[in-house]
Amino acid sequence: MMSRSYLPHWMHLLGSPPVFYRFAGTLRPWLFWSALLLAAIGLYGGLVLAPADYQQGDAYRIIFIHVPCAWMSLFAYGCMAVAALVAMVWRVKLAEVIAMECAPVGAAFTLVTLITGSLWGKPMWGAWWTWDARLTSELVLLFLYLGVIGLDHAIEDRRRGARAASLLALVGVVNLPIVHYSVVWWNTLHQGSTVQLLGPSKIAPGMLWPLLTMALATHLYFFASVLNRTRVGLLAVEGGKEWARSIVAENAHA
């Protein structure tokens, strides 16, 4: 009974813009520096310590950037969609801001995924781009992110724009399983999954640990970036409130 009554109160408290602003400001540097440290370890492990692939040689090492960014492109969209759902159903202002601030970060991860995929595809497939099911659905994901960003900025009323963009984000969720299962549902050039959460992974341990370290680093960076962007977004949305004006004034005199 105590936990049931405590959780809604905790969620309600954290959902307060000034409380979240302070919470995010405290947590953000820890996430950022942890991400930076783990990225350095993961890149050193992947680019220096990991053995060369028996088929691709050293060309495969781009996976230590490509694969974590590809995972993050889906994860970020999922986070955006959850926040958009909360914003649409419960009209939570903070959820609207979080959903909209997830979009640019997710779009950046998706763009890096496409660029590194092309760089990897050239020596492997002999072409910078092919209309492979995985690549095409990932490109559609980028367009969805850009659509959310564009729709959010196209409407002058920030809250109306966020709600319209949230609806598009929810509609676009149907693309996530297409991206993930495209290599299973269709005969594609893109290789299948080599890392399994349930069951043995089809990758050498010396390659696996740097890959997972990079995955953790990108997750921490995503949260740090979204927290930072949300703080700025809250100040813009709550610009007429006393707490926001006081923070802006403090920053101006700092």
Query: What does the pLDDT look like over 61-92, one tens digit per residue?
Result: 999 999 999 999 999 999 999 999 999 998 88
Residue 176 inside a domain? The answer is yes
Q: What is the mean pLDDT of the chain?
A: 89
**Residues with Cβ < 8 Å from 170, sequence gap 6 or more?**
81, 84, 85, 88
Residue 116 inside a domain? The answer is yes
> What total number of domains does the chain contain?
1
Q: Which domain holds residue 95?
A: 62-236
Query: What does the pLDDT look like over 99-142, one tens digit per residue?
Result: 999 999 999 999 999 999 999 888 878 888 888 888 999 999 99
Residue 36 inside a domain? The answer is no
On the question of pLDDT at 248 being above 50, the answer is yes
Residue 20 inside a domain? The answer is no
Residue 49 inside a domain? The answer is no
The pLDDT confidence band at residue 203, using thresholds 50, 70 and 90, is confident
Beta carbons of 179 and 137 less than 8 angstroms apart: yes
The pair of three-digit structure tokens given for residue 50, joined into one six-digit string: 């990991």
Q: What is the pLDDT of residue 7?
A: 43
Beta carbons of 63 and 202 less than 8 angstroms apart: no
Q: What is the pLDDT of residue 155?
A: 93
Q: What is the pLDDT of residue 187?
A: 65
pTM of the model: 0.92
Q: What percent of the chain has pLDDT over 90?
A: 65
Residue 40 inside a domain? The answer is no
On the question of pLDDT at 249 being above 90, the answer is no
Residue 196 inside a domain? The answer is yes
